[in-house]
Amino acid sequence: MPGKEERHNIEDLGNGKYRIRWQFKDSTGKWRSRQRDIIAESEKDAKRVLDDINYELRHKTYIDRSRMTVGEQIEEWFGYHQYELGDKERSRYKESIRLHIIPEIGHILLSDFCKRDVQDFYAKKRTGGRKDGKAGGLSSGSLHRFHTIINQAMEDAVDKERIGKNPLRKIKSPKGAKPGEVINPLNEEQVPIFLKSAEKDRHYKLWFCFLGTGCRPEELLALNRMRLDLRNKTITISEVVVCINGRMVPKPITKTDKSRRTIKISDAVVEVFKAQLAEVDAWKQKVGPKLFKDIGLVFPSDTGSYLNPSNLASRHFKPILKAADVLPDIRIYDLRHTHATLLFRRCKDIKLVSERLGHSDVAITIRTYYHLLPGTEDEAVAMFDDVLTRKVLDKPGAEPKPERSSEDVCVNSCVTNNVIAFPTGGLLKQKTRK
């Protein structure tokens, strides 16, 4: 129909309101009519809005707002704003949109999207919807990310006059099904059992160092040789490795982050690190530089790259637990919790443990671990009873003990008193890479 697409008009509704109308062909080739009521100071201003629509029609960038879906709005918003995020956060946003938001609410028309749709979506994700096949709902962190994405995308839609108001404006960020992290540290009897079961695993030294340092998996897997000072028995944590779009890449820890730290290691752990470095050097010499790209990692893959924690868990860690038969089904991260709880039980210095773990605040350490220390209140009550009966005050001939570094006492006592029970003799039995 010649010229039909040019038949646009503007209607003055009074009180500064105008109605603009236009026509266009949709994706099937059919003619569609649309109209929008706008507020403008004059007909000339209303014409500018209509001219913008004409421009989009001519350049084929026009979007039919009346048929635009929530998914299209979110994808458009993310396309413009994704580069304002860091690499790791951008990857998480992309995954949240692709796996959770679009499949659940992406099909809803933007004009029909309402508060009830949002609440139903959150309720469903609180009780299910995990993509790893496990039962239960998503964490508060995941739900907060969904809320941030949808809310910002809807604010963008309001700014572009695609919807009158944001349906999330009066909805608070939801809390997930897991109010806190559930930790399952091994006890003193279980640690030797775990290490015995791990002796035949090629990554035995890695598991040993997880227990001996209390490092996060992403910290130890990013550890560089330059950060090892075996003479002074310290390691410096300055980087982490993160998974972005399926690839493991390093990320420096900022100087203001308490996770950036130098910690003491025991004699047993020093020997393990020495054995690990010797094994890596032998493997590198055997396969040559073409197959092994050396970037200085202490715990590299066969090709010299970063190990993936997920692969380590499924292919090595879980089989070790299963082979032991008597160990609980824990995560790699629980080896860090094991180090923290056993260390705290020995030295009772929560501030030292907090600094060693790289927590930003000692309160985090207290909330995480204090309830796992049975008998703490009994010991305190018994000690106070001694004060009341003057057993402490009246001890004759008590002499002050020489001062020692609290960290040295804690770290060495874990080996001397066999708390973490590092079997250094077992290192000689470890098989190197074939």
Q: Per residue in 255-301, pLDDT tens? A: 677 889 999 999 999 999 999 999 999 999 999 999 999 999 999 99
What is the reported pLDDT for 7?
Answer: 45
Q: Say how many C-beta atoms besides its own lie within 10 A of residue 342's C-beta.
A: 22
Distance between CA 351 and CA 189 in Å, rounded?
26
**Sign (positive or negative) of CA dihedral 39, 41, 44, 49:** negative
Domain ranges, ordered by start, for the chain: 4-62, 70-159, 190-359+416-429
Q: Which CATH number, 3.40.50.300, 1.10.443.10, 3.90.950.20, 3.60.21.10, labels domain 190-359+416-429?
A: 1.10.443.10
What is the reported pLDDT for 84?
Answer: 87
Give phi and psi for 55, each to the nearest 5. Answer: -60, -45
Q: Are 328 and 184 in contact (CB under 8 A)?
A: yes
What pTM does this model have?
A: 0.61
Distance between CA 179 and CA 354 in Å, rounded?
22
What is the reported pLDDT for 280?
Answer: 96
Model confidence band, residue 254 (pLDDT cutoffs 50, 70, 90): confident
What is the reported pLDDT for 345?
Answer: 81
CA nearest neighbour of 153 among 88, 70, 61, 66: 70
Q: Per residue in 176-214, pLDDT tens? A: 654 445 788 999 999 999 999 999 999 999 999 999 999
What is the reported pLDDT for 419?
Answer: 41
Mean pLDDT of 320-348: 90
Residue 392 has pLDDT above 90, yes or no: no
CA nearest neighbour of 213 among 205, 296, 251: 205
Q: Per residue in 5-27, pLDDT tens? A: 444 588 888 888 888 888 877 66
Q: Give percent above pLDDT 70 in the chain.
A: 78
What is the reported pLDDT for 191?
Answer: 94
What is the reported pLDDT for 394?
Answer: 53
Q: Are 44 and 31 in contact (CB under 8 A)?
A: no
